[in-house]
Structure 1
Amino acid sequence: MAVICTPTAADVAELAELQRRHETAVRGSSSASPERVAALVTGSGAATHRHRLVRGDDGRTLGWAWVQDRAGGRVVCAVTIAPELSDDKADPLAAELFDWAAGQAADIARARGLSETQLDSGAFADDPRQQRWLAKAGLRRVRRWWQMSRPVQPEEGEPDALPAPRPGVSIRRVDREADGSVAEEDVRRVHDVLEQAFVDHFNSHTETFAEFYLRLRTDPGHRWDHWWLAELVDDGPAEPAGALVATVTGTDGATEGSYVEYLGVLPNARGRGVATSLLYALIADAAQRGRDMVGLEVDADSPTGADRLYTALGFSTAYVTESWHCQLVLPQR
């Protein structure tokens, strides 16, 4: 008989190990860490997450599901099943956990006063078992994402080692106050830039500043000195043109790298090398910190051809992930 519970701090190491086994079984390596699991289960990020942990009679962890209230009309969920579990046991467990996730998503939507919401999950492209469970739960594959990385050379941290921004474009980190705290005005500028830059992009959902601020602050890899603003300085006051938000990977003691969480450029600044200059700023910073890798995610199905920019800068695809969605319409009460 299975034991169902809500995970606590005592379960973090075991959940990280479950995630590590799953990722390793599918793609041969894993980025799972107790620090990142703790942020979801017990850290400040727990406020927007709900969890369900399933154990066997012997106390062994069999499955873990979580849902996140990501934005108005969008709930993200993940279901992880022990890879060593046979299909006759894994299939019904996955179905039960996805059904639980859908119920939680509906509950979140009701609390927001919505009549429907998107349930957003995913899988590795080389994981047919997870894909089968997603399809049986009523989700469909809607997008592929290339997970790309680029090696960083120590000399790239030297002054003038990388090309400077084009004339009229300036790159800077977000400002800090005299007491060392981040300048809220700059954080709001980053939020505004990203909201405008992605408004027409795939699966864009409006996220309030408070939601944006809380979500990124709760990432264990968050660092304020990994946020950059691009500005146009042709004439008159500087105007925001783009933004890059990065995080630290390998925060559990593994080799550190830098990862691009967001890179957006406003429409009126496109074609001026803004995205390239922001990436060069991150690469130089990574080199100065002694890191050997910068990573990012790119929409494999985007018509913008963004992957060509990344390839030209030395990025290559390490593996591919998929987004799976369904629209949940809540029954009227």
Structure 2
Amino acid sequence: MRENLVVRDESDRIRAWGSVHDRAVGRMLFVHVVARDLEHALATRCSRVLLAWAEAQARAVGAARGLEVQQIDTGTFADDERLAGWLTAAGFEKVRTWWQMSRSVVPEEAELVPDPARWELDGVVFRRVEQQGDGMPEDGDLRAVHDVLEGAFTDHFNSAEETFDEFIHRLREDPGHRWDHWWLAEVDGEPAGALVGTVSESVSGPDGSYVSYLGVLGSARGRGVAKGLLHTIIADAAEQGRDRVGLEVDADSPTGADGMYVAMGWGTKYVTQSWHKDVRV
């Protein structure tokens, strides 16, 4: 699912790095990193190597998927004019803006919900995915999480169908992956919301929690499902001695989710952008 390329200087130090990830049908993620201290002309040449390699990877990935066109999906920090210039020159288009948000957590918020493992409010049950005796999660719960997220994001920007096996394999590769950070919300006994969290490790100070995915089926919106799941991960973070919960929100989201996050204490730390290019296979 992933390929990587490094560019080394004469002293064998890595000065540029590219990484591609066959994320889902028709969507290939691309990471582009060039050392900041390189002279501009040399840095530009390194970038061109990475961009040309990424296009070749896109053709290979698209061919393996049987596609005629393969999208390359990459990103920049909003103020990175250097990378934006390189992407524009290579035919990429800026398509979306994202707010990277964070919320402080205090120890007292461990009492925000009765028990992060399982609690209920107004007929909605919030619980961790069930784990078997060997510590592995129950397959039915994992499939429920996948089905809820697929259903919740159908009409979202750049949504691409992902099989259950691809979904599980990809999320298990995340360095912050923990099975006990996956929650389901059930309405009238049926899965209607899901939150997949991860651990944001810190080199100094407490770790944090991160909301990788939060989805609610349209039929359950207005029942407090999203807010309840967020309260659950906040309480869990406080219980584990963490000092923050992070998440990403689409600045152009039609659901107005950013308003809920701000009301619950989240603030924007920095802004990123998505850039796309369609490559003929």
The secondary structure found in structure 2 opposite 1:230 is strand
Shift of 1:309: 0.3
Instruction: Pick the aligned partner of 1:122 from 75, 95, 106.
Output: 75
| Mapped partners of 1:232, 1:77: distance in 2 | 38
Q: How do 1:1-333 residues align onto structure 2 when only pairs under 5 Å count?
A: 48-158=1-111, 160=113, 166-233=121-188, 238-250=189-201, 255-330=206-281
| Mapped partners of 1:181, 1:97: distance in 2 | 39
The secondary structure found in structure 1 opposite 2:277 is strand
Structure number with the higher strand fraction is 2
Shift of 1:297: 0.1
Q: Tell whether the 8 Å contact from 1:155 to 1:161 is kept in structure 2 after alignment.
A: no
Compared CA separation, residues 160 and 295, structure 1 to 2 (3 A): closer
Counterpart code for 2:185:
A
**Which deviates the most, 274-283 or 50-59?**
50-59
Shift of 1:255: 2.7
The secondary structure found in structure 2 opposite 1:242 is strand
Unaligned runs of 5+ in 2: none
| Mapped partners of 2:114, 2:143: distance in 1 | 31
| Mapped partners of 2:143, 2:262: distance in 1 | 31
**Which deviates the most, 310-319 or 169-178?**
169-178
How large is the Cα RMSD of the aligned pairs?
Answer: 1.5
Q: Normalising by the residue count of structure 2, what TM-score does the alignment of the two structures yield?
A: 0.95
Counterpart code for 2:148:
V
Shift of 1:92: 1.7
| Mapped partners of 1:219, 1:252: distance in 2 | 17
| Mapped partners of 2:91, 2:174: distance in 1 | 30
> Which structure carries more relative contact order (alpha carbon 8 Å, separation 6+)?
2
Q: Tell whether the 8 Å contact from 1:140 to 1:324 is kept in structure 2 after alignment.
A: yes
The residue aligned with 1:14 is none
- Alignment coverage as a number of residue pairs: 278
Identity %: 54
